[in-house]
Homo-oligomer: A and B are copies of this chain.
């Protein structure tokens, strides 16, 4: 009959109200909040309490405040940063293995390719072509710029798939995998060759998408990940990644062979 009456912290009620306003669209991105001193009056709390609330909102990515800004804090556009942070923490604390991350990435990218192959528009195809060309232009150049172009291509591909959740989760796990692997890379020998191979693979995926062949697009994207990352896996984990290929009709022998090369 009665609800629990545990004390609700003052700062928490402030957070709830502002968060709800943003989530409900009553406060839009780039809009400004009133100054701290005005909010103090409005919420009838002390400045310290209000500031604790603003800090929490800031850490969740809802607002951003700068020292000395005569206007108040800025309502932020939605960002996946906090999602990335949570996921990165998950990877560290729960000790996610590289295999687990790669399995997830194979799953997401294969489905992204499938959906893109089935439903891409001509404009989206052109956009992917442009990003592909941009990647080619960076072959042999700065590896950071190449990685950026690679990311842009993946983003275009994800948009063509028409699923924002897929797009975001793909980019998040992409990041986490890279940070995990980058610590293991001693020296990237044959950078130029690697870039060329990467472009070639992306081109094959794009070709399958252009021809509207979901199964083939998924298979190639899977194969790309296996070829690129399986060297970082121990034998048992590598086998489990190769086993995923059955779902794509991949040739197990070819997968195993490419690892040895």
Contacts and interface: CB of A to CB of B under 8 A. Distances in A.
A214 B247 CA distance: 8
B166 A93 contact: no
A51 interface: yes
A166 B104 contact: yes
Q: For the complex formed by this chain, how many copies does it contain in all?
A: 2
Contacts of A114: 244, 247
Given A52-B55, A80-B90, A83-B90, A100 B168 contact: no
Contacts of A173: 165
A119 B107 CA distance: 17
Given A86-B83, A100-B163, A118 B243 contact: yes
Contacts of A92: 23
Interface string A76-110: 00101011011101101110100011011001100
A169 interface: yes
Given A215-B247, A243-B118, A165 B55 contact: no
A54 B15 CA distance: 15
Nearest to A78: B93
Contacts of A218: 247
- The DSSP consensus for interface residues of chain A is helix
A153 interface: no
Contacts of A82: 82, 86
Interface of A: 7, 11, 15, 22-23, 48, 51-52, 55-56, 59-60, 67, 78, 80, 82-83, 85-87, 89-90, 92-94, 96, 100-101, 103-104, 107-108, 111, 114-115, 118-119, 163-166, 168-169, 173, 214-215, 218, 240, 243-244, 246-247
Given A52-B52, A96-B164, 14 more contacts: A11-B55, A56-B56, A83-B86, A83-B87, A83-B90, A100-B166, A101-B165, A103-B111, A103-B165, A104-B169, A107-B107, A119-B240, A214-B246, A218-B247
